[in-house]
Amino acid sequence: MSNYVQLAILVYSNLWAFILHDSREQAHTVHHKNMNFNFGQFCSLWDRLGGTYVDPRKFLKAESIGNPLTRTK
């Protein structure tokens, strides 16, 4: 196997691992509190592209002061 193929596999597998695990479980917890956001369990890429991503810190802070996000899609 050539060095270029090995490099391509290494880059691809590292990017895939990053994309797959770029979100913590808190992000999906938002989905269970408001079903219109954060559909991805481990990856928030599609939520970010589709406009359904909500930062869990902002969501949980708003919820704690009695003002949860209520946007619907």
pLDDT digits (tens, 9 = 90+) for 3-54: 999 999 999 988 877 766 655 667 767 777 788 888 877 677 888 899 988 8
Query: What is the residue range of 56's domain?
Result: 3-64
In a domain, 72, yes or no: no
What is the reported pLDDT for 31?
Answer: 74
In a domain, 31, yes or no: yes
In a domain, 22, yes or no: yes
pTM, full prediction: 0.51
More confident residue, 17 or 73: 17
Residues 6 or more apart whose Cβ sits within 8 Å of residue 6: none
In a domain, 25, yes or no: yes
Total structural domains in the chain?
Answer: 1
Residue 18 CA to residue 12 CA, distance in Å, equals 10
What is the reported pLDDT for 73?
Answer: 46
Contact by Cβ (8 Å): 37, 54: yes
Token pair 């996000």: residue: 69
pLDDT digit string, tens, across residues 50-70:
998 888 888 877 777 766 665
In a domain, 69, yes or no: no
Sign, Cα dihedral of 59, 64, 67, 72: positive
